[in-house]
């Protein structure tokens, strides 16, 4: 998600990973991710475009 604009979906990304034999009962796993920009060819639409299409369909 874009840090200043929740409607931009170019920053959505999911990652699947596993940590072998972790966490132990007395451990905690914290995973963080960051980027300097959105995906170059993102496949998820723009929320603002979705709203425009909904408005035009209702008219």
What is the per-residue pLDDT for 12? Answer: 67
In this prediction, residues 26-45 reach a mean pLDDT of 77
Cα 49 to Cα 28: distance, rounded to the nearest angstrom: 40
Cα 29 to Cα 32: distance, rounded to the nearest angstrom: 10
Cα 38 to Cα 8: distance, rounded to the nearest angstrom: 9
Question: Token digits for 18?
Answer: 């596993």
Alpha carbon 57 to its chain centroid, in Å, reads: 27
Q: Which of 36, 31, 32, 30 has its CA nearest to residue 10?
A: 36
Inform me whether the pLDDT recorded for 47 exceeds 70: yes
pLDDT in tens, 10-25: 666 677 888 888 888 9
In this prediction, residues 32-48 reach a mean pLDDT of 72
Residue ranges per domain, the chain?
Answer: 1-59
Residues in the chain: 59
């Amino acid at each position: 998600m874009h840090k200043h604009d929740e409607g931009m979906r170019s920053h959505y990304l999911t990652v699947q990973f596993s940590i072998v034999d972790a966490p132990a009962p007395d451990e905690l796993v914290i995973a963080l991710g960051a980027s300097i920009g959105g995906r170059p060819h993102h496949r998820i639409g723009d929320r603002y475009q979705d709203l425009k299409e909904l408005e035009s369909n209702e008219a």
